[in-house]
Amino acid sequence: MISIVLFGKPGAGKGTQAAFLKEKYNLKHISTGDVFRFNLQNDTALGKEAKVYIDKGELVPDEITINMLKDEVEKNMDAAGFLFDGFPRTIKQAEELETLLTSKGLKLTATIALEADDEVLVKRILERGKTSGRSDDQDEDKIRNRYEEYNEKTAPLIDYYKNKGNYYAINGIGSIQDITARLSTIIDTLV
């Protein structure tokens, strides 16, 4: 069973590529955004816990997030593997993910980063914002703020995964098909 973290800045194409990869490799796509929405909409115990923090405008603690992910992993042990999207975002979360996978007899196969220039990504998100309905996709200052937060909190994961020897970077610019082919070339060597 393979476990992959799909990594990259907002607008790098993680969601788009995850849709192709989950089909091609029979992976369970675990998007933290989707997992949060499910738990909140279905008023689960974890959703209720998360809502307390969200209603205060605070970040949901890692423990609640990892428990939501644990539930998703446990429900999908019949998949050929897992594709994590939007998690981890910090080294502490990466360590928690590793602990979760180890507890299930799994390990992280690879972290694959979609790399792209910020200016290209800003244009991509502004274009997406015309149809996404997301206010944070329509404001360049908010987009750039998301990149600052990414650089501060998430970019340190690059060295963390490089030191583990399972970090792969690919060019995230080009056609969807070209990027999918680049990702597949890496994944095909791992399965």
Does 146 count as an annotated binding residue?
Answer: yes
134 is a catalytic site residue? yes
Does 11 count as an annotated binding residue?
Answer: yes
Does 13 count as an annotated binding residue?
Answer: yes
Does 87 count as an annotated binding residue?
Answer: yes
β-partners of residue 170 are 114
Does 128 count as an annotated binding residue?
Answer: yes
Which residues have C-beta within 8 Å of that of residue 74, sequence separation ≥ 6? 104
Does 81 count as an annotated binding residue?
Answer: no
Cα 111-117-118 angle, rounded to 5 deg: 100
182 is a catalytic site residue? no
14 is a catalytic site residue? yes
> What phi and psi, each to the nearest 5 degrees, are found at residue 77?
-70, -10
Does 144 count as an annotated binding residue?
Answer: no
**Residue 133 in 3-state DSSP?**
coil
89 is a catalytic site residue? yes
In the set 14, 22, 28, 70, the catalytic residue is 14
Determine the Cα–Cα distance for residues 148 and 146; give it in Å rounded to an integer.
5
Cα 3-41-65 angle, rounded to 5 deg: 40
144 is a catalytic site residue? no
Binding-site residue positions for ATP: 11-16, 128, 174
Binding-site residue positions: 11-16, 32, 37, 58-60, 86-89, 93, 128, 134, 146, 174
> Which amino acids are annotated catalytic?
14, 89, 128, 134, 146
Binding-site residue positions for AMP: 32, 37, 58-60, 86-89, 93, 134, 146
